[in-house]
Amino acid sequence: MLDRLPDTPHPRLWLALFCVLLWLPGFFTIPPGDRDESRFAQATRQMVDTGDYVRIRLGDEERNKKPAGIHWAQAAIVHVLEATHLGGRADIWAYRGASFLGALLAVLACFHWGRALVGRRAAFVGAALLGSALVLVVEVHIAKTDAALLASITAAMGLMGAAYLAPAGFTARRAAAFWGALGIGILLKGPIAPMVPLLTGLSLFLMDRGWRNGTPWLRALRPAWGVPLMLACAAPWFIAIGIATEGRFFAEAVGDDMLGKVGAGGERHWGPPGFYVAIFGVTAFPAAFFVLQALPSAWAQRVQPPVRFLLAWAVPVWLVFEAVATKLPHYALPAYPALMLLAARWMLDPLATKPRAWLRWLAIAALWGVALVLPAALLVAIWLVDGSRVDVFAALALVAGVLLAVVVTREARAGRWVRAGLSAVILAIPFYSAILEGALPRIDAVWLAPRVAAALHRADPALPIPVPPGRFGIAGYHEPSLLFATGGATALLRDGTAAAAFLAETPGRTVAVSDRDETRFRAEATRFGLRPREMGLVSGINISRGRWLTLQLYGVE
């Protein structure tokens, strides 16, 4: 059955089914995460609330870091859900919809254009492996840009691959689609999207000795009018935001955000060169088992145009991200479709070079390591942070991980690579389900923000959520998830002294004060002649800072 699945007459339906089963667990139930997800979601929510789709704001502050493309996509989905009464702007999963659709388009694009590069069967296997990769599964559950960006990059690179392999038959319409996909990518995350084909093109120019043999694929892409088309897709918003912010967007987005990440570890996310190689076994699980063993064969066959294109796609992009000082696991995601297609091509090639024993054992160690260590670490973490509780879902994930590793290793040892690959995808479904739907949403200690909102509602049922301006303030916990849970009008107070002043200023207010600010709050409340009334208590761990926190809600008697 699995051997014949790549020949199905409905490959896109099967791939979509795999993606839904892999990604839906936890999609609706995992609370808003810190920090990027809640920043993006809250900024979009404020767009929807205000109707201002040019400026990006988080609370009262401008958020001049990324273009508005992902916010528009999220806002459009929110409007559709509200019009159909299926969801609303208070639901975090509504904002994750753009990530879900982007990842799905990336998988389907990997298959659609991968057929010309590696054949239909291998393209199916490669796209399925891409959908099961841990880093993409995680990105689907985070309401931000990277899954949608992957869709635009995969589509553009698939079209570029078609131009490289058959430039004579590459039409103007396909060239327009290539540049349009890059224009959408610019609206999503600035220069990252055009950087990928640029690096690929430079690599192909060097590998093919373009100065001697020419570059027919470049002529087929029609850059003379294609580049202006790409820029025209993004120019109206960039002009509008430049006017609206008086140039501050470009100073902060380019100078502070982008260039700051190149030379230094932005937001404490520094990593050494080799970081993405070191974590590849985790981020690409379970597909890393196949990719690692396929790389020697891919390099040996680099004279073949499809393999050469895929290597020119993956390698320079990977090296650039290794060189950039700021590192996060998902940054190397634009190289993943090429790596998955190379792995699938090797899996279906009976004459491909077999890996050395050490590389085979490294791939086995990566597969078994993640299958065992990830759920085991989750078991221990839940025991430590959630009151010595043994989580049955984390235990089930451990069982599912062992089953996945056993089946994939057995099928690979027998040389049944298609079965091994598709078994990995199918058995990843219960593995991810137990973690994302079963274990993570139930770790109460780490989901502070929704518990604060619930405590606030219990303390004052008449207080609407999101809270109106001037009604609720908090000292000692300023994570973006709190803004999403309680609303952008929540006052983020500097310390306990400011909390007491906020409470004293107007009757009917409520404040939440952390244990670290308690002493100063009570001293200042006494000075104001207040008699604070305890209205609720929330304790847990602030995972962004890695420390325990207790928040006490106060009103005034």
Which pLDDT tens digits describe the chain residue by residue (557 residues)?
A: 788 899 999 999 999 999 999 999 999 999 999 989 999 999 999 999 999 999 999 988 888 888 999 999 999 999 999 999 999 999 999 999 999 999 999 999 999 999 999 999 999 999 999 999 999 999 999 999 999 999 999 999 999 999 999 999 999 999 999 999 999 999 999 999 999 999 999 999 999 999 988 899 999 999 999 999 999 999 999 999 999 988 888 888 776 666 555 555 445 567 889 999 999 999 999 999 999 999 999 999 999 999 999 999 999 999 999 999 889 999 999 999 999 999 999 999 988 888 999 999 999 999 999 999 999 999 999 999 988 889 999 999 999 999 999 999 999 999 999 999 999 999 999 999 999 999 999 999 999 999 999 999 999 888 888 899 999 999 999 999 999 999 889 999 999 999 999 999 999 999 999 999 999 999 999 999 999 999 999 999 998 888 999 999 999 87
Strands (E), 409-531: 472-475, 491-493, 510-514
CB distance 439 to 391 below 8 Å = yes
The conformation of residue 476, written as its DSSP 8-state character, comes to S
Contacts of 340 (CB under 8 A, 6+ apart): 110, 126, 127, 129, 130, 133, 287, 291
Nearest CA to 38 out of 92, 90, 83 is that of 92
Distance in angstroms between the alpha carbons of the first and the last residue of the chain: 70
H or E element at residue 533: strand 532-542
H helices within 166-283, ranges in order?
172-189, 192-207, 210-213, 216-221, 223-244, 248-250, 259-263, 275-278, 280-283
CA-based radius of gyration for the chain:
25
Contacts of 388 (CB under 8 A, 6+ apart): none
At 172, list the tokens: 């103007």
Contacts of 405 (CB under 8 A, 6+ apart): 367, 368, 371, 372
Pairing status of strand 57-58 against strand 61-62: antiparallel
The conformation of residue 442, written as its DSSP 8-state character, comes to G
CB distance 167 to 220 below 8 Å = yes
